Structure 1
């Protein structure tokens, strides 16, 4: 049962009571965990705007600590016009209805505008494609990004068109498929021959203290679990094709977890730079395919979830894109 409920005197307001186990948490993290329809960044912005309170006190510090027994109220304003502009960017639409859209994202396409990528993103493309069917998510009339793929990761991604769909999908992703039909499966090419046919990496992840742009295994990190299975071994090339199923969905999770096993992804210059010399073992065709790949060899091949409005179980598969298929062909003929 949800601990959040709408206040009768303000239909925009949502109240979240804090229990004994919540005491001491950062307020923004606490609210983000309880209100999956709001991103942590959105909650921080609402706090700065004076839209978060507790017992009549306006709370503007996202790092404030939660007190047990207090009720925190979030009053979000109505959706504002989308800040990103719509752009006519081709989309590979796998499924679409009035509530959501499933995209097969190409490598190289950034999902959301950010520093260095103000436009030309999937969000810009969706605003143009979906138009008036976007009724506002997280305070802005824009598509609801429930999960993300790295810029250079290809494959399936689902996006909500309105708040109700966003909340329903967010709840499934927050539950990690433990009590529902959510499935996220990836194909990855990794260096080395795995010693076992399958296994699980259960290692918490957080920002690296040495390099804040990287993710690292940390004892104080967020829970992260990846189940992997070796699908094919390329003995001569010293590489493997692996299926990775996510039980959680942290930033760079597969890339870091496979590197932790000593099997970083081909083409991953962030977490696999120490293995770049392995490319010398490849045939000329393999080296050319790896150069042409120019990215981490990772593809979101399978996505399944319950439709957030109808409850129908949906399941989608995406074939390997040409660059990965060429890489596999080169490894097979090594």
Structure 2
């Protein structure tokens, strides 16, 4: 909490009889970001955005929490705790959006504002924020993968989990794109890594044994390319097997350098964390979102608005970045 916020809190305590009501109404709203898992570098980077928003906005208390492992049930329990604490808004990156519909509905009934990210199928959210069109992002992965593969050969896809909506959308987008090339053969699609690089590594090793002629891997979770790249490198297949997917530059750098991974794409989690909190405050303040609105955050300068499946809206940005061996050092995270 900033010094200003501490002073404001003290003022509420010592303000005296007769002004308690008006002062209480001025208490800073609390926004809590709930991520898929604590400790993963993607969400460490996201927390930088949450902290930056908190520091830049003295009238808001913003923080981030997450479960110890990527598990929808654990994430749900954290949200239940926040409902009990009567926070003003939650900004959630759901592990499994459908598994959290009930808890989001309860939060909204209690007057808590619900903002989500990577969950455009949710009914019980006021605003879902997407960094880009997810089907197009998956197709873009496969465009790079199929080009690396010479548009021919066996390939597979990874997801954090089958409940991780955006990962599934990317895998499906990639599969649809690959259909234009008769020589591309999708095998064992949507392998689950559960946001664990070691699990991705073990699965990639298994697939390399099962399909010794496999030529391509499309990763979904931010750590998939790390595990897959390690398996490819250990098998001595650098440059012979193509690996693309979501990732962070500094996590993936060594595999980009060795040729075990060809390219990654991402959106900056720091910007996503910041914009989720900014949108949460806008919802608290009753701000109306309009087509083409500039949210003042890179990649979200001209948002597209879609009607969500429930009463809420979906805000779509243009925030993806492509990185390979030639430029990953330009991004210090």
More helix per residue: 1 or 2? 2
* TM-score w.r.t. length of structure 1: 0.31
Bigger proportion of residues as strand: 1
| Structure with more relative contact order (C-alpha pairs < 8 Å, separation 6 or more) | 2
